[in-house]
């Protein structure tokens, strides 16, 4: 039987269909069965790796991509997906090397440039990341994710107006792109344009009501506008969706204290300190001590 006819009826194609349906365990079993018969088929190894990645088994996925690339060194998608898996496990330098191999095959691959930028950003190499995102949108001007990541890189570099323009470019392509709306809101908040920040977050929330980041930024902007009760409502939304969101409990406590609701504020700070979730915006005990010293939290409350 010719190879094309075999593949059309094979476990491989059934596995691809199951992967597209999100049934990765079943797909993996079919890819394994196919490889038992035809171990030299690079696409099967590649799709097996993708199924493993979607199951969270990234180290196993890398091994599968390596097999695909041993068989077919010019397999561009395998190099990209290998890079993605390496990024997830924190092996950023190797991920960049993998993206570079993909780009040596296809220098105009916008997705590979974008992913390379993300890995560079994770290493703090922001100038290089910016160049990579620039190339991503240069090769695909309709790449909303690329514009969003370019905006974030510009923001990190302090180029705020350019960053806003980049987020707006992303939203011109995908008007319902909640990540771009929320990041735009966060930048507007950071530069003191609080009303616009609330508006941007409201647009994101109207599309995705459970988007914690947008609720958080909205609460911060409302708090900065002196609308503490509304800010509390926003932060309570985050807590509803993610009870371990430690920084939400903290800022909720500050807003309650500003409203003179000290007992509730104290209980909120206790929740903040007990929460297992740590994050970039997570306040430490030092911040809580300083808040107490400023009179925001009364003595005896934590």
Integer-rounded Cα radius of gyration of the chain: 24
Where along the chain do its domains lie? 176-236, 243-302
Angle between helices 178-190 and 212-224 (to 10 degrees): 20
pLDDT, mean over the chain = 85
> What confidence tens digit (pLDDT) does each residue in 229-257 have?
999 899 888 777 776 666 666 667 777 77
Q: Which CATH superfamily is domain 176-236 in?
A: Tetratricopeptide repeat domain (1.25.40.10)
- Integer Cα distance of 280 and 260 in angstroms: 28
Identify the H or E element spanning 145. Answer: helix 144-156
Segment 65-73 shows an average pLDDT of 97
Using the Cα atoms of residue 23, residue 25, residue 30 and residue 35 in order, give the sign of their dihedral. positive
Using alpha carbons only, give the angle 168, 172, 176 rounded to the nearest 5 degrees.
95
Averaged pLDDT, 255-282? 65
Digit-coded pLDDT (tens) for 143-163: 999 999 999 999 999 999 999
CB 102, CB 113: distance < 8 Å: no
Instruction: Tell me the three state secondary structure of residue 39.
Output: coil
Q: Which whole-number Å values give the CA distances from 74 to 84, 108, 139, 146, in the listed order? A: 17, 15, 21, 24
- 216 vs 288: CA distance, rounded Å: 19
pTM of the model: 0.80
Q: Which residue has the higher pLDDT, 265 or 203?
A: 203
What's the whole-number mean pLDDT along residues 54-77?
96
Q: Does residue 63 contact residue 48 with C-beta atoms inside 8 Å?
A: no
Q: Can you tell me the distance from the alpha carbon of 173 to that of 190, in angstroms, rounded to the nearest whole number?
A: 24
- For position 282, what pLDDT does the model report? 37
Comparing CA positions, the residue from 77, 166, 171 lying closest to residue 115 is 77
Q: Which tokens in the block code for residue 230?
A: 């509304």
């Amino acid at each position: 039987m010719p190879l094309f006819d075999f593949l059309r009826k094979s476990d491989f194609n059934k596995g691809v269909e199951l992967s597209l349906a999100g049934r990765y365990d079943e797909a993996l079993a079919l890819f394994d069965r196919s490889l038992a018969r035809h171990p030299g088929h690079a696409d099967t190894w590649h799709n097996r790796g993708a199924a493993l990645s979607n199951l969270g088994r990234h180290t196993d996925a890398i091994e599968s991509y390596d097999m695909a690339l041993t068989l077919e060194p010019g397999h561009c998608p395998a190099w990209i997906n290998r890079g993605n898996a390496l990024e997830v496990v924190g092996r950023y330098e190797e991920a960049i090397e993998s993206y570079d191999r993909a780009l040596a095959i296809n220098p105009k691959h916008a997705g590979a440039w974008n992913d390379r930028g993300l890995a560079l950003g994770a290493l703090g190499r922001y100038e290089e990341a910016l160049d990579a995102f620039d190339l991503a949108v240069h090769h695909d001007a309709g790449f909303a994710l690329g514009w969003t990541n370019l905006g974030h890189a510009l923001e990190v570099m302090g180029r705020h107006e350019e960053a806003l323009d980049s987020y707006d470019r992303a939203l011109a392509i995908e008007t319902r792109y909640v990540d771009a709306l929320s990041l735009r809101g966060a930048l507007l908040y950071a530069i003191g344009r609080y009303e616009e920040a609330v508006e941007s977050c409201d647009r994101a929330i109207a599309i995705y009501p459970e988007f914690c980041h947008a609720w958080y930024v909205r609460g911060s902007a409302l708090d900065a506008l002196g609308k503490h009760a509304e800010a509390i409502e926003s932060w309570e939304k985050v807590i509803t969706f993610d009870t371990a969101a430690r920084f939400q409990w903290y800022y909720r406590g500050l807003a309650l204290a500003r409203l003179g609701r000290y007992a509730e504020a104290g209980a909120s700070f206790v929740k903040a300190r007990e929460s297992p979730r740590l994050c970039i915006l997570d306040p430490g005990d030092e911040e809580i001590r300083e808040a107490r010293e400023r009179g925001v939290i009364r003595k005896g409350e934590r």
